[in-house]
Amino acid sequence: MKTILVTGGAGFIGSNFVHHALGSRADSGPWKLVNVDLLTYAGNLDSLEGADRDRHELIQADINDGKQIRALLDRHQPSAIVHFAAESHVDRSIDDAASFIRTNVQGTQVLLEAALDYWKTGTCNAFRFLHVSTDEVYGDLAVDDPAFTEQTPYQPSSPYAASKAAADHLVRAWHRTFGLPVLITNCSNNYGPRQFPEKLIPLMMINALHGRALPVYGDGQQRRDWLHVDDHCRALMAVLNRGEPGRTYNIGGNAERDNLTVVQAICDLLDQRAPEGFSLDQPRRELIEFVTDRPGHDRRYAINAGRIEQELGWRPQMKFEVGLEHTIDWYLNNAQWWQRIQSGAYRESSREGYSGERLGTRSGQAA
């Protein structure tokens, strides 16, 4: 049984990857998952409920702790590291860039050093280091610009995007200088189950469900390529199993939508699925409020995923409208999951023996 060491596996994409890798859909299995997560505010043990305990071990650790990471590598001898751990909310990066530099840049560097030492021992000849990044490193696109390719120059706009760009460059440097067999993926906006409620789709869904204002930045015409997290996990498995070391793969959902259209679609779905408290002449679209735009807000992202399709045979399967319906239904059917986040109970009752900051009240958008 092969072992994957996953960093940040209690977060949104990480926890979905854990479920995917442990499930019957995962190829080249069965896998054992060693899940290393610091369990900061966005790490949620509730998101790991149902994971096979015989093949999944959660360890609270900081990727900046090189000695502990190195010891975990020696103990578990993984055939791969899949690196999700990152601060990822753009609004938070504007308020506190230092924590993004520490986790996303310094943490990646420490992890690379530990991985290099481990790889040099020859314990696993087929070792892979998969670094999961974002399309935000490429910067802003005009309406008529071609979509991002793997050759698009980096022009990050936010502290978050700059920290991920720096991490990408470090990963490439460890490959070119030391030969570490790395893989990099740059994905578009993810959505789906288990996404922390500060991000656009769950934030708007929960606010709309309760009749609260739906704050939309600027004119709401910022365009994003929306990628369902299940499609993303399938892509990551394809890259991990069949990708060429040293190569970068863009992953997109082929679903460009502007933010206002997404918020309106959420409102319409909730009017159909959860009409309680709202009459037909008071649709939830009336809750939309345009607010001052975020500083440095990129206007458009778009992904050209031709390389991963041509070389690895992956393409997105989930149509955005269908995926959004499934996502809304998941949040409606799993209200306790996000209610425990809002109350802070997910940090208090589900983490005996763990310490960390209590969830704050700040909310924002991610798109």
The tokens for 173 are: 């440097």
Q: Which pTM was predicted? A: 0.93
Give, rounded to a whole angstrom, the gap between the first and last alpha carbons of the chain: 38
Catalytic residue among 37, 62, 135, 298: 135
Q: Would 260 be classed as within a structural domain?
A: no
Cα R_g (the chain), whole angstroms: 20
Dihedral (C-alpha) 205, 206, 208, 210: value to the nearest 10 degrees? 160
> From the candidates 41, 118, 160, 191, which is the catalytic residue?
160
- For this structure, is 136 an active site residue? yes
When pLDDT is averaged across residues 131-156 and rounded to a whole number, the result is 97
Please give the tally of structural domains in the chain.
1
Report the C-alpha gap between 101 and 121 in whole angstroms: 30
Mean pLDDT, residues 247-251: 98
CATH number at residue 22: 3.40.50.720
In percent, how much of the chain has pLDDT > 70?
92
Mean pLDDT, the chain, integer: 92
CA–CA dist 40, 360 (Å, integer): 11
pLDDT at 227 over 50: yes
Per-residue pLDDT of 332-343, as tens digits, reads 999 999 999 999
* 244-268: average pLDDT: 98
Would you say residue 124 lies in a domain?
yes
Instruction: Yes or no: say if 337 and 282 are a contact pair by the CB < 8 Å rule.
Output: no
Annotated active-site residue 135? The verdict is yes
Residue 362 has pLDDT above 50, yes or no: no
62 in active site: no
Q: Is the pLDDT of residue 192 over 50?
A: yes
In a domain, 177, yes or no: yes
For 186, the enclosing helix (H) or strand (E) is strand 182-187
Name the helix (H) or strand (E) containing 225: strand 223-228
Residue 71's CB is within 10 A of a number of other CB atoms, namely 13
Q: Is residue 115 part of a domain?
A: yes
- What local confidence, expressed as pLDDT, does residue 275 receive? 83
β-sheet with 256-258: strand ranges across = 189-191, 223-228, 256-258
Q: Are the beta carbons of 211 and 94 closer than 8 angstroms?
A: no
| C-alpha span between 131 and 184 (Å, rounded) | 5
Beta bridge partners of 182: 129
pLDDT band at 34 (very low <50, low <70, confident <90, very high): very high
- Per the residue annotation, which of 136, 230, 231, 309 is the catalytic one? 136
User: Across-strand partners of 289?
Assistant: 215
Is 242 within a domain?
A: yes
Q: Which residues of 221-235 are buried (b: 16+ CB within 10 A; e: fewer)?
A: ebbbbbbbbbbbbbb
Crossing angle for the helix pair 159-178 and 107-120, nearest 10 degrees? 20
Interatomic CA distance for residues 353 and 32, integer angstroms:
24
Residue 299 has pLDDT above 70, yes or no: yes
Torsion of CA 32, 38, 42, 47, to 10 degrees: 30
Whole domain around residue 155: which residue ranges? 2-192+224-254+300-317
**Are 79 and 3 a contacting pair, CB within 8 Å?**
yes
